[in-house]
Amino acid sequence: MDLSEYVLIEGAARDRLADLLQAAAPRQVKAPTPTLATMLYVASALRARPRDIDRYIDYFGDRVLHQR
């Protein structure tokens, strides 16, 4: 083998490595967020709590434990 063949092999290996790295890179796909996921995110961000009366009285008048 002469020097030019080594240069060709090195260039081919570099190109193949670049292709593999590009294929392995994570891709960010722009997809719409489902409505439910958006609502859950907003609710958690606002730390939505049930109405105060719901902590003490349910619809039948019994006491209800506050659930978190």
CA dist 40 and 21 (Å) reads 36
Q: Say yes or no to pLDDT of 12 above 70.
A: yes
> How confident is residue 55, by pLDDT bands cut at 50, 70 and 90?
low
CB distance 64 to 54 below 8 Å:
yes
Measured between alpha carbons, how far is 63 from 57 in angstroms, rounded to an integer?
5
Q: What is the pLDDT of residue 63?
A: 53
The pLDDT of 39-52, averaged and rounded, is 68
Asked if 66 and 55 count as a contact pair (C-beta separation under 8 A), the reply is yes
The pLDDT tens digits of the residues spanning 14-29 come to 898 888 888 877 777 6
